[in-house]
Amino acid sequence: MKLLVKDMDIATGDVRVVIINEKDAALLDLHHEDRLLIKKGKLKTTAVLDIAESNKAVPQGHIGLFEEVLDALNAKHNDAVEITFTKKPISIQYIREKLEGKELSYVEIYEIINDIVQNKLTDIELASYVVANYTRGMTMKEIVSLTKAMTETGSVLKFKKKPIVDLHCIGGVPGNRTTMIVVPILAAAGLTVPKTSSRAITSPAGTADTMEVLCDVTLSPKKLKQILDKSNAFIIWGGAVNLAPADERIIKIEHPLSIDAEGQMLASIMAKKASVSATHLLLDLPIGKGTKVYDVGCAKHLRAQFENLGRELGIIVYTMLSDGSAPIGNGIGPTLEARDCLWILENDSLGPEDLRQKSIEMAAKLLELTGLATEGNGIVMAESILKSGAAHAKMMQMIDAQGAKIKNSNQIKLSNCKYTIHAKKTGIITSIDNIAVAKIARIAGAPRDAEAGIYLHKQKGTRVKKGEKIFTLYAKNSQKLAYAKEAIKQTTSVVIQ
């Protein structure tokens, strides 16, 4: 059937969609979400069909095209195009089989993931895949296949040096910016650490957001190889190098449903590690409210799963269970967290002790795991690298290589738009709520406004006197500060007893 183009004057940015009038759809026996082949001269493309009920949207005899399809066909308003029915991607059949409870093979999972990356599946199809994995569960064989498929449908960074060390913390604990201390310690010890990090999705800061306060985190693969040859390490935003790109689309479905399927989480994390060719991985599982690990039993189960998956992928995984009941470090939000990290690297007494200790423990474990330190001697080695200034020097080298912005904690400027909460009574801080603190910091503007966030003057377990400062809120402007103050009123972020 020949139809005239209606330029919808908007990009979908997603799966390619075309719209035809319901009367034309009926004539061709076409249904919602069918696939069409659209031809204009020698140019052709496939797209998903949406059906308009009103003539206002798309009148009969016309076809509504969005920017991506217009570009693919080099088509303009009122051009004639030819449409024919075409089959749905084979991956939809595999999704159906998963719905039925079948275990999928590597080839089948690869096909689904590849179609996700190529933007060939609709929200309904993708949601049914995500939900099927969630409700049917995944076998370890499927999780291995998923991890490999997610890795192979993106870029893979390959380096000559071995071992390649990586670390990861399962999120949910505000602050906790260990990566920016552990990586320079390990690199100073001579290890290769190509660290790719994420930006915050639901938290006040990701490692990429925090590192970006100090230097650039969006670098080309070519530049990354040069840096690694020179400094042994980098800390960048993984999104810039297209590692395991299926993850982002899957999260877009999981997030509105608040689904976090275990198999999917395992695969998403490990695919990022396989994408940098990691040989050794330290995994931090913080246990506590607001984290993904609600108790020790859950942590032990996840540990076994990650270690099994690591074995299948040829990655040595060591899992550390840690206390995730309250924020770690004093700063929450990119700039405040970057300052904590610099203070620790500078051996400044302002550096938060809990973050310093945890970072040393993590670095120690990787030094032992890679054989650079003998068992039980990692702590001493990591501490000496930090105290000697070697870790600081390495971080400065890394920052320079990535285009330095800030190299000294003194250079960090905080917003004047701030508000401090004081203790209403004398007592011990028995809890600081991860979820409440993260929400307040986000409403104050973090991570979008790097300087926004919360600085904790006191940590969980410390004694405070009535009137002492508990925390200070920072925002870019007074309106955002007002929003965040309102959020403070609505939640119980800090409990004194």
Question: Is the CB of 280 or the CB of 480 nearer to its own copies?
Answer: 480
Rounded to a whole number of angstroms, the minimum distance from the CB of residue 128 to its own copies is 5
255 belongs to the binding site for its own copies (CB under 8 A): yes
Region for 342 from its dihedrals, namely left if φ exceeds 0, alpha if ψ lies in -120 to 50, beta otherwise: alpha
Report the nearest approach of its own copies to the CB of residue 42 (Å): 24
- Between 8 and 276, CB nearer to its own copies: 8
Q: What are phi and psi of 53, to 5 degrees?
A: -85, -25
Contacting its own copies (CB under 8 A), which of 37, 44, 61, 99? 99
Please identify every residue annotated as catalytic.
260
Q: Which stretch binds its own copies (CB under 8 A): 92-100, 109-117, 205-213, 276-284?
A: 92-100
| Cβ neighbours of residue 166 closer than 8 Å, sequence gap 6 or more | 193, 194, 195, 273, 276, 278, 280, 281, 282
412 binds its own copies (CB under 8 A): no
What minimum distance in Å lies between the beta carbon of 13 and its own copies? 5
Tokens matching residue 257:
């449903």
- Given the complex with its own copies, which of 134 and 419 has the nearer CB atom? 134
Contacts with its own copies, 215-254, as mask; x by CB under 8 A = -------------------------------------xx-
Answer yes or no whether residue 294 interacts with its own copies by CB under 8 A. no
- Specify the residue, 11 or 90, whose C-beta has the smaller distance to its own copies: 11
Tokens encoding 124: 């309904």
Phi, psi of 371 (to 5 degrees): 85, 5
Is 414 among the residues that bind its own copies (CB under 8 A)? no
> Least separation, in Å, of the C-beta of 277 and its own copies?
31
Cβ closer to its own copies: 53 or 295?
53
CB of 49 to its own copies, least distance (A): 10
Does 32 participate in binding its own copies (rule CB under 8 A)? yes
- Interacting residue with its own copies among 37, 46, 57, 225 (CB under 8 A): 57
For its own copies, the closer CB: 221 or 297: 297
Residue among 42, 160, 222, 256 that touches its own copies (CB under 8 A): 256
132 binding its own copies? (CB under 8 A) = yes
Binding segment toward its own copies, per CB under 8 A, in 94-102, 225-233, 294-302, 424-432: 94-102
| Contact residues for its own copies, defined by CB under 8 A | 8-11, 13, 26-27, 29, 31-34, 52-54, 56-57, 67, 92, 95-96, 99, 101, 122-125, 127-128, 130-132, 134-136, 252-253, 255-259, 442-443, 445, 448
